[in-house]
Amino acid sequence: MLEELLEKIGNLSLVQAAELVKMMEEKFGISAAAPVAMMGAVAAADAGAAEEEKTEFDVVFESFSGDKKVDAIKKVRELTSLPLMDAKKLVEEGKQTLKEGVSKDEAQKIKADLEAIGAKITLK
């Protein structure tokens, strides 16, 4: 019986299908738009949750203020393999990305190590 009904509904024109939906809404006091709107809200919530679960981070060296400048330069060289002069310039000027696409744990470790010697680090 249900298969026959489904077959008949499948053979309706778009105009007839729209009329059927309207008649069902009136007869049963429902709205076909509500489930569609609910699905959109659920999909948006899922997208927001996925966005919150970021797995890769960029470590950005913002600035340095402290008396351990040599230690900061050494740490930057260790993390980036930059030549000495480039690492010194990065520490002095700041606003540069040290590492890209690292795990959350690694990013937090790098941030903690550099902040301990006077650097300001942000994770993006």
- What is the CATH number for 64? 3.30.1390.10
Say yes or no: 64 and 47 in one domain.
no
| pLDDT tens digits for range 114-124 | 999 999 999 99
- Structural domain including 77 reads 57-123
Mean of pLDDT values over 69-85: 91
pTM: 0.56
Say yes or no: 30 and 65 in one domain.
no
| pLDDT tens digits for range 94-109 | 999 999 999 999 999 9
Say yes or no: 118 and 88 in one domain.
yes
Say yes or no: 66 and 117 in one domain.
yes
**Residue in 65, 73, 62 with CA at minimum distance from that of residue 118:** 65
Say yes or no: 64 and 119 in one domain.
yes
pLDDT for the residue 14: 78
Q: How far apart are CA 122 and CA 124, in angstroms?
A: 7
Say yes or no: 73 and 103 in one domain.
yes
